């Protein structure tokens, strides 16, 4: 099934490129592809920040240390309960009022990564909480340090559980990068809107735009499935 999906996605992409090559779409395709490069850059950097904040805040949410736990809760509730677009405006337009000026790329990456990190923290927290408590109790009996307990026993099992949820959030993150046009970044969506205003080829332009987002999402989907299979197989061998 996965091979069929991969082949289908590649065929759809090649058909789209062939259609663009032999039609008037070649007039505006380069601009859209430049936007795709910006979207890829924002996505990669935002995903790195999103994963980091998810793990740190998810673990902090379960910490026995009250200050760390409350800092994590505060971060999760603020960024999860606020509109991503508003956070983006804060990063780019409001922060300079406090003497902190961020470039459009940094503002976009920070807003998206922090916002999705708050959602990912709950996925991490739920995955860690789902690991049987008996194993944690056994590591305490063996006098393992909390760090070793988390990195060698709990997290390897929790990762396999959290991968599907984190993959879904990553796909949503990629689609959310369309909002960075609000802070002057020319991503896929903004480039498509610009080219449509110039050439009035709505169907072709937004077909290619949709196809590019679909291809990016499929990379995440297949990567997530491969990771899940790897961790599941690895854990079964350990057991």
Q: Check residue 10 and give its pLDDT.
A: 64
Domain ranges of the chain: 2-124+133-238
Q: Check residue 6 and give its pLDDT.
A: 64
Q: 102 in helix, strand or coil?
A: coil
Q: Check residue 230 and give its pLDDT.
A: 79
Task: Give the residue with greater pLDDT, 134 vs 239.
Answer: 134
CA dist 239 and 233 (Å) reads 10
Q: Check residue 174 and give its pLDDT.
A: 94
Quote the strand ranges of the chain, DSSP E: none
* pLDDT exceeds cutoff 60 at 239: no
Q: Check residue 91 and give its pLDDT.
A: 93
Q: Tell me which residue of 78, 111, 94 sits closest to 185, measured CA to CA.
A: 111
Task: Give the residue with greater pLDDT, 154 vs 112.
Answer: 112
For the segment(s) 2-124+133-238, the CATH number from 2.40.110.10, 3.40.50.10740, 1.10.3720.10, 3.40.50.300 is 1.10.3720.10
| Contact between 116 and 50 (Cβ < 8 Å) | yes
Q: 52 Cβ partners below 8 Å, 6+ apart? A: 113, 117
pLDDT in tens, 108-133: 999 999 999 999 999 999 888 887 77
Instruction: Tell me the average pLDDT of the chain.
Output: 84
| Contact between 163 and 7 (Cβ < 8 Å) | no
pLDDT band, very low/low/confident/very high, at 159 (cuts 50, 70, 90): confident
SS3 of the chain: helix, strand, coil, percent, to 5: 85, 0, 15
Q: Check residue 173 and give its pLDDT.
A: 95
Q: Check residue 86 and give its pLDDT.
A: 94
Helix pair 104-129, 29-61: axis angle to 10 deg: 40
Q: Check residue 20 and give its pLDDT.
A: 54
pLDDT band, very low/low/confident/very high, at 8 (cuts 50, 70, 90): low
pLDDT in tens, 216-238: 898 888 888 888 787 777 665 55
| Contact between 208 and 15 (Cβ < 8 Å) | no
Q: Check residue 51 and give its pLDDT.
A: 95
């Amino acid at each position: 099934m996965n091979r069929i999906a991969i082949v289908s996605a590649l065929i759809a992409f090649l058909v789209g490129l062939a259609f663009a090559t032999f039609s008037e779409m070649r007039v505006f395709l380069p601009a859209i592809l430049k936007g795709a490069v910006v979207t890829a850059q924002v996505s990669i950097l935002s995903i790195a920040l999103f994963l980091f904040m998810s793990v740190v805040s998810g673990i902090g949410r379960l910490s026995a240390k009250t200050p760390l736990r409350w800092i994590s809760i505060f971060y999760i509730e603020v960024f999860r309960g606020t509109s991503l677009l508003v956070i983006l405006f804060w990063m780019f337009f409001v922060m300079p009022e406090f003497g902190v000026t961020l470039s459009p790329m940094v503002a976009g990456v920070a807003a998206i990564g922090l916002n999705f990190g708050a959602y990912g923290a709950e996925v991490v927290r739920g995955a860690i909480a789902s690991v049987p408590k008996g194993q944690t109790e056994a590591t305490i009996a063996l006098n393992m340090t909390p760090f070793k307990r988390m990195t060698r026993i709990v997290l390897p099992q929790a990762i396999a559980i959290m991968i599907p949820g984190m993959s879904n959030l990553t796909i949503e993150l990629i689609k959310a990068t369309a909002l960075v046009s609000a802070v002057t970044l020319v991503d896929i969506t903004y480039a498509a809107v610009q080219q449509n205003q110039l050439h009035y080829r709505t169907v072709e332009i937004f077909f290619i735009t949709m196809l590019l987002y679909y291809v990016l999402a499929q990379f995440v989907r297949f990567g997530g499935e491969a990771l899940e299979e790897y961790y599941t197989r690895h854990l079964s061998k350990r057991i």
